[in-house]
Amino acid sequence: MSDYKEMYLTMVRASEKAIDLLVEAQQKCEEMYLSSKDEEEAEEEAGE
């Protein structure tokens, strides 16, 4: 007989890892965006 509980837990663990990876990537992109905006603002202030 198939071990459905273990199959379910395997799927849930993999899903959690995938979600964590996507959240981490999103946070990194947000940080990159914010730091690029800071650099643009600094360049604009220096040019004035």
**Half-sphere exposure of residue 19, counting CA atoms within 13 Å on the CB side?**
6
Amino acid at 26: Q
Neighbours of 19 (CB within 10 A): 10
Alpha-carbon distance of 25 to 33, in angstroms, equals: 12
Q: What share of the chain is helix, strand, coil (3-state, %, to 5)?
A: 90, 0, 10
User: How confident is the model at residue 48, as a pLDDT?
Assistant: 64
Residue type, 40: E
pTM to 2 decimals?
A: 0.70
- Record the tokens describing residue 33, joined without a space: 């965006």
Structural domain count, the chain: 1
Mean pLDDT for each consecutive 10-residue tract of the chain (48 residues)?
Answer: 94 98 98 88 74
pLDDT confidence of residue 28: 98
Q: Which domain holds residue 40?
A: 1-48
